[in-house]
């Protein structure tokens, strides 16, 4: 018989259960108590009033046929006023709590897919807490908190989930890289198009300036030299341009061999060829 004697000491956050001739007599609060063993009083046991924690691991299956382990942490305590019910009604309160946790978790999780189990773990904890409060309250226990501390899918499922996540991230990285390369190509093409456009405008302006200069030169030469025609002046200008071109080729840093027919007779042929080419270009542009 525990505590059989005259004096007993009940520690803080603890309550003692006193019986008299085998029948519940009362609760001994923390402190020193004097019992009379000759009248059948004795200390039947002690109950801790501290908050206790119980971790329950429950294996179950989700709606999409994935096996998971759900770990629940139950925080409970004995209600001081109902300590006699907690002492006499339940032989093993931890097994009782564990059984109800199994029942609620295995009723909730199979109605969810795996992703919903992670997202709605608070709903599962709430359902477990409500069931335990309803049942364990009748036995003198108070459920302080119920937490879903871990959800562990099967190892093969975890590897598959990691591979899916890695593949998604690689696809996003490849997409971003392709978009960056696309932007570079577009910007490069736009730059080349703009450069060609500006280059074309420059060439057009250059040709316009050459044409205007030639026109003014022909008019001035015709006015200053009597008896000359526009054809004579154009021949002279073309020959001058021809020799300037030959001079530039010869003065270039990289010498290049150019085979051209050269002589007094060929100069006239070259002039005629240049004139014909300009006339054809003018006709095609019209």
198 and 109 in a common domain:
no
pTM of the predicted model as reported, rounded to 2 decimal places: 0.54
DSSP count for the chain of H helices, then E strands: 7, 8
User: What pLDDT does residue 4 have?
Assistant: 46
- At 90-109, the pLDDT tens digits run 888 899 999 999 999 999 99
232 and 205 in a common domain:
yes
102 and 22 in a common domain:
no
Q: Is 80 exceeded by the pLDDT of residue 283? A: no
Who contacts 108 (Cβ-Cβ below 8 Å, separation ≥6)? 123, 124, 127
- 235 domain-assigned: yes
Reported confidence tier of residue 277, pLDDT bands at 50, 70, 90: low
- 1 domain-assigned: no
Answer yes or no: are the C-beta atoms of 110 and 60 closer than 8 Å.
Answer: yes
Domain termination site, one of 121, 153, 185 = 153
Planar angle of CA 276, 243, 216, nearest 5 degrees:
65
**Residue 191 parent element (H or E):** helix 155-224
238 and 165 in a common domain:
yes
- 276 domain-assigned: no
User: What pLDDT does residue 123 have?
Assistant: 92
- The order of strands in the sheet holding 41-48 is 23-28, 14-20, 41-48
What is the C-alpha separation between 202 and 199, in angstroms, rounded? 5
- At 134-146, the pLDDT tens digits run 899 889 999 999 9
Mean pLDDT of 269-281: 62
176 and 142 in a common domain:
no
Nearest to 275 by CA among 245, 243, 215, 231: 231
Nearest to 45 by CA among 4, 79, 13, 90: 4
145 and 183 in a common domain:
no
165 and 85 in a common domain:
no
Note down the domain range covering 134.
52-153
59 and 148 in a common domain:
yes
**Residue 188 parent element (H or E):** helix 155-224
Answer yes or no: are the C-beta atoms of 75 and 146 closer than 8 Å.
Answer: yes
């Amino acid at each position: 018989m525990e505590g059989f004697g005259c004096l007993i000491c009940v520690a803080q956050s603890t309550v003692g259960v006193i019986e008299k001739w085998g029948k519940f007599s009362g609760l001994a609060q923390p402190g020193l108590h004097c019992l009379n063993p000759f009248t059948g009083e004795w200390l039947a046991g002690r109950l801790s009033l501290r908050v206790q924690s119980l971790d329950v691991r429950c294996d179950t299956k989700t709606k999409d046929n994935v096996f998971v382990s759900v770990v629940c942490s139950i925080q409970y305590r004995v209600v001081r006023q109902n300590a006699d019910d907690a002492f006499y009604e339940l032989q093993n309160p931890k097994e009782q709590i564990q059984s109800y946790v199994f029942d609620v978790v295995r009723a909730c999780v199979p109605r969810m897919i795996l992703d919903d189990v992670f997202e709605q773990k608070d709903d599962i904890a709430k359902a477990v807490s409500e069931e335990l409060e309803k049942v364990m309250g009748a036995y003198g226990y108070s459920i302080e908190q119920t937490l879903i501390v871990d959800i562990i899918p099967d190892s093969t499922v975890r590897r598959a989930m990691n591979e899916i996540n890695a593949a998604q991230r690689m696809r996003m990285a490849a997409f971003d890289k392709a978009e960056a390369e696309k932007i570079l190509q577009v910007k490069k093409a736009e730059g080349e198009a703009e450069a060609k456009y500006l280059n074309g405008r420059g060439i057009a302006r250059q040709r316009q300036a050459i044409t205007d200069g030639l026109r003014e030169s022909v008019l001035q030469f015709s006015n200053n030299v009597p008896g000359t025609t526009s054809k004579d002046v154009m021949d002279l200008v073309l020959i001058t341009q021809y020799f300037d071109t030959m001079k530039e080729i010869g003065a270039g840093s990289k010498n290049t061999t150019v085979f051209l027919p050269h002589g007094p007779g060929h100069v006239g042929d070259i002039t005629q060829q240049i004139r014909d080419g300009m006339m054809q270009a003018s006709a095609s542009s019209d």
